Amino acid sequence: MQNNYLIQRKLDFQSYQLKLLVLLGCLLILLMSTVPVRSESKPFVAPLIQASKTRAELVQSVQKSVVHIKVEQKLANVMRPFQNQPRQEGSGSGAIVRSDGYILTNHHVVGTADKITVQLYDGQELKARLVGTDPATDISVIKIEGKDMPVLPMGDSDNILVGESVIAIGNPFGLSHTVTFGIVSAKGRAGIGIAEYEDFIQTDAAINPGNSGGPLVDLEGKIVGINTAIFSRSGGYQGIGFAVPINMARRVMTELIESGQVSRGWLGVGIQDMTPELAKAFGLDRVKGSLVTGVMPGTPAEKVGLQKGDIILHLNGNIVENSNGLRNIVAEARADAKVDLGLVRNKVPMTLSVRLDERPKQPRQADVNSSNKLPSPELGFTVQELTPEMAQRLGYETIQSGIVITAVKPDSPAFNGGLRAGMMIVEMNRQSINSMDDFQQAARGTSPEDGVLLLVSTPQNSQYLFLQADQG
């Protein structure tokens, strides 16, 4: 019995030793497994921390070149046009692009402003003047007096990739130098209806009212776009913003600084996009290209024999994706430039070489200073005959002819009376106006001091306006 007892005690002791060894082994394994995790976690965390600090340093550097733009503009009072007019204040953003004080922004921010004030990063406020503006791309250049200004370098918007990180800086709702972060959601967006020439960068970086004109920058701190608009049902940020590519804005900026205006190549055709139905009807195996719907007399297109029904597929070897692409390529070419058009006519491929003209700004324009073409130079507006291109651009799809307002002088009787560029004159003093001859005939003998009754229309509505020259 004693031997059995001793044997049992020995077995119990051995079992205890085994359990102790197992427990110690588990503790050792636990220690060995936890220590390396802690030591190996640092290499993963450190790059994130460093990337965050690098981005913050980038933002601090870029912010110094971003400005807050404040504008004032007189409002037209149609009901009482000769009383003192109220003033509307607005706000936007801009980027310093030259050390001598040139600032890149949007046309819709400053293009019609009577007074422009720029607030720098340090809070200093300076008066600015409008150097030039281009409504067709919604780009403007303003200037402040200064030297050695902090400049924001320009990147290459052609090389930016969808999915690439970008930063938007501006003054949404007057909140100066607000920074938002996102990605490039898409490139080459067109048909938005924001500007005549559209090739937008789409981004999900938060953009709100007041961001307009501010820079969209890459992670190298270079401008890749000028923030222009948002797509929103509420008026606020919903994840879709648009920026003018800096490559387009840079060309416009250069010409505005050098000459105050933008010169564009011109072909002289009406065009529309291809659809699957049209492609099938014209015998094409792909939905690409631009369909010619009309050829204007005396234009480069007519001179080389372009015809209605031609489908332009290439320009200088570059694929023409759609009508917007063709319009942009032609516009970016200089006047007198020779280009090769690759097209299909009646299912037969061919190539035409054409020398572009400069796009007419105001063909057959009645000069504001010409008393035999306008009721009076004191009224302050210019007109021209409607072209098919203008009709398409302005939205007068069902109108074949007429007279359109091309410019209205700020603070003029025309401006104060409610006349705006893009309106069509339907009647003058109860006489129908369908051509320049009709307009000139109605204008003869009209006394601006007695007033001019105009029936004007837009694609949305029509209204009568009464204009009268100021009495001195």
Query: Which CATH entry fits the domain spanning 377-467: 3.40.50.1000, 3.40.1160.10, 3.40.50.1240, 2.30.42.10?
Result: 2.30.42.10
Is the alpha carbon torsion for 76, 252, 215, 165 positive or negative?
positive
- Whole-number pLDDT of residue 86: 57
Q: Which residues contact 192 (CB under 8 A, 6 or more apart)?
A: 198, 200, 229, 231, 242
The CATH code that applies to domain 165-259 is 2.40.10.10
Q: Check pLDDT > 60 for residue 260.
A: yes
Angle between helices 323-332 and 246-259 (to 10 degrees): 40
pLDDT in tens, 341-381: 999 998 899 999 999 998 876 433 333 333 333 444 567 88
pLDDT in tens, 18-62: 565 656 666 656 555 554 444 454 566 777 777 777 778 888 889
- Number of helices (H), then strands (E), in the chain: 9, 26
Q: What ranges do the domains of the chain cover? A: 67-144, 165-259, 265-358, 377-467
Which region among 1-10, 13-22, 293-302 has the lowest average model confidence (pLDDT)?
A: 1-10
Compute the C-alpha angle 38/40/43, nearest 5°.
Answer: 120
377-467 and 265-358 share a CATH fold = yes
- List residues with catalytic annotation: 108, 138, 212
Kindly report the average pLDDT of the chain as a whole number: 81
d(CA 53, CA 414): 55
pLDDT tier, 449 (very low <50, low <70, confident <90, very high otherwise) = low
pLDDT in tens, 226-236: 999 877 666 66
d(CA 469, CA 439): 18
Are 31 and 23 in contact by the 8 Å Cβ rule? The answer is no
Please name the fold of domain 265-358.
Pdz3 Domain (2.30.42)
Mean pLDDT of 229-255: 85
CA distances from 95 to 154, 289, 321, 397 (A): 10, 36, 32, 38
Query: Of all residues in the chain, what percent carry a pLDDT higher than 70?
Result: 79
Q: Across 249-408, where does the E strand assignment appear?
A: 265-266, 269-273, 290-295, 311-315, 318-319, 338-345, 348-355, 357-358, 381-385, 403-408
pLDDT in tens, 384-437: 888 777 787 788 877 767 888 888 887 788 888 788 888 888 888 768 888 887
Highest mean pLDDT among 128-132, 387-391, 450-454: 128-132
C-alpha 70, offset from chain centre: 20
Q: What are the start-end ranges of the H helices in 64-131?
A: 107-110
Between residues 287 and 150, the one the model is more confident about: 150
The CATH code that applies to domain 67-144 is 2.40.10.10
What CA dihedral angle connects 183, 184, 190 and 196, to 10 degrees?
80
Q: What does 380-393 look like in DSSP terms, one character per residue?
A: -EEEEEPPHHHHHH
